[in-house]
């Protein structure tokens, strides 16, 4: 299990910055262009995404220019409906918050960046007798899973996002979709995303219907994904976790190395 001391966190954060930013975040993008230190990505479903290794040495005036120029890039692409600028609390980026807000971006909820040994999560978890877990690949279940996640997160159900997930499955990039179901209804779901060329895999999209929470289902679904990650040779897991999922991951030995806040612009 990964140590939670200051030095252990520092090592994990360094690994995160080196291996889980830029290329790892945009490997499935339709296109990626560079703007100074920025990576401007376009994903299926009309989604723009902005990331970078760091903004070290860029002054507030330079950051204002980067925000302005990046938004102008997407404004000219009429197929883009929304743009996410992913910030990290440990980055040095003077004036970034003010520049983003001034350009019409809205800060979403901050999440903890969690990293730790996959073996700490790959444990046996007792499920309610009426609940079963399985991996899915067929279109009907993928669309049902995506709709359930949107409902749980309070978002409009998006056909385009389901299309994007199906396209990723067809590309055979290692993405896995896992669900928990009871009486034919999906009650919890999540993704496993191995990061090529690294020892990392990401656990994403964890969502459980409110009436099924507190019964070990999310923990069991996470354990199933951890076992699958280990079978791929991925020894470290990472996730951006809400305050709901963070305690579960912490009990398994994952540690919070920083926080991330997405800023979103909508056309």
Q: Do 129 and 225 belong to one domain?
A: yes
The low-confidence residues of the chain, meaning pLDDT below 50, are 1-4
Domain end marker among 111, 130, 153 = 111
Containing H/E element for 228?
Answer: helix 217-231
33 and 157 part of one domain: no
**pLDDT of 105:** 98
Within 8 A by CB and 6+ apart from 118, the residues are: 201, 226, 229, 230, 234, 235, 236, 237
- Which one of 79, 111, 143 terminates a domain? 111
pTM for this model (two decimals): 0.86
Domain carrying residue 153: 116-258
- Please write the tens of the pLDDT for every residue from 9-45: 899 999 999 999 999 999 889 999 999 999 999 998 8
Is 15 a member of any domain? no
Q: Over the chain, what is the mean pLDDT?
A: 93
Count of domains forming the chain: 2
Identify whether residues 102 and 130 lie together within a single domain. Answer: no
Considering the domain architecture, whether residues 198 and 252 belong to the same structural domain is answered as: yes
Q: What is the CATH number of the domain that holds 208?
A: 3.40.630.30
DSSP code at position 111: E
């Amino acid at each position: 299990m990964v140590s939670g001391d200051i030095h252990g966190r520092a090592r994990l954060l360094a690994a995160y910055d080196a291996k889980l930013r830029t290329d790892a975040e945009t490997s499935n993008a339709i296109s990626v262009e560079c703007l100074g230190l920025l990576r401007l990505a376009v994903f299926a479903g009309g989604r723009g995404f902005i990331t970078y290794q760091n903004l070290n040495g860029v002054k507030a005036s330079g950051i204002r220019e980067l925000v302005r120029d990046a938004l102008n890039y997407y404004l000219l692409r009429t197929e883009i409906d929304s743009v996410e600028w992913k910030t990290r609390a440990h980055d040095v980026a003077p004036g970034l918050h003010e520049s983003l807000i001034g350009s019409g971006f809205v800060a979403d909820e901050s999440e903890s960046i969690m990293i730790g040994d996959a073996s700490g999560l790959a444990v046996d978890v007792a499920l309610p007798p009426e609940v079963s877990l399985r991996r899915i690949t067929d279109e009907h279940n993928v669309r049902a899973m995506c709709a359930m996640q949107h409902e749980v997160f309070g978002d409009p159900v998006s056909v385009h996002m389901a299309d994007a997930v199906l396209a990723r499955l067809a590309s055979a990039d290692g993405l896995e979709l896992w669900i928990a179901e009871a009486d034919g209804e999906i009650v919890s779901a999540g993704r496993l995303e191995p990061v090529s060329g690294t020892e990392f895999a990401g656990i994403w999209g964890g969502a459980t219907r409110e009436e099924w929470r507190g019964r070990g289902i999310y923990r069991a679904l996470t354990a199933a994904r951890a076992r699958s990650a280990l079978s791929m040779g991925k020894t470290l897991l990472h996730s951006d976790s809400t305050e709901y999922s963070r305690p579960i991951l912490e009990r398994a030995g994952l540690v919070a190395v920083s926080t991330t806040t997405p800023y979103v612009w909508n056309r």
